[in-house]
Amino acid sequence: MYIVSACLAGLCCRYDGGDNADERVIGLVREGLAVPVCPEQLGGLPTPRPPCEISGDRVMTVNGVDVSAGFLRGAQEALKVAKMIGADKAVLKARSPSCGAGKVYDGTFSGRLVDGDGFFAAMLKAEGIEVETE
């Protein structure tokens, strides 16, 4: 089973109220092989919401508000779903501060990328779940 980013499955949960619909991911959901989750919504963040980036061990909005607690809670809740369905793989949205894997924005809101994982991706990897991005 796959756990997948809900925005890739076509849900409008992205920070700007849009989606990142990906036909491959939608196909996995249709076949009953994947369950979509949005860690940021599960963490209680609103949609739409200000853009956020990881800065050190925190997550900050573009306005300088520390939203780490919501990101952490959302990643924990989404991990519960992953475990509930017995997920062994994940397909997540690249570069997101929750879902990004391998590369995330550097915290300066300038579009620069650095090596690292989003909060949810890091948690899945720590549980031995294989993570790829779209």
CB of 88: closest distance to ligand SF4 in angstroms?
19
CA distance 122 to 100: 9
How many angstroms separate the CA atoms of 71 and 15, rounded?
13
Residue ranges in 33-72 that form contacts with ligand SF4 under rule CB under 6 A = 38-40
Residue 27 CB, nearest approach to ligand SF4 (Å): 17
| Residues facing residue 61 across a β-bridge | 52
Q: Does 7 bind ligand SF4 (CB under 6 A)?
A: yes
Work out whether 133 is an interface residue with ligand SF4 (CB under 6 A).
no
Task: Select the residue interacting with ligand SF4 from 2, 3, 14, 105 (CB under 6 A).
Answer: 14
C-beta closer to ligand SF4: residue 27 or 48? 48
Find out whether the peptide bond into 48 is cis, omega within 30 degrees of 0.
Answer: yes
- How many Cα atoms sit within 13 Å of 114 on the Cβ side? 13
Of residues 55, 129, 42, the one with CA closest to residue 91: 129
**Which spans of this chain sit near ligand SF4 (rule: CB under 6 A)?**
5-7, 13-14, 38-40, 93, 96, 98-99
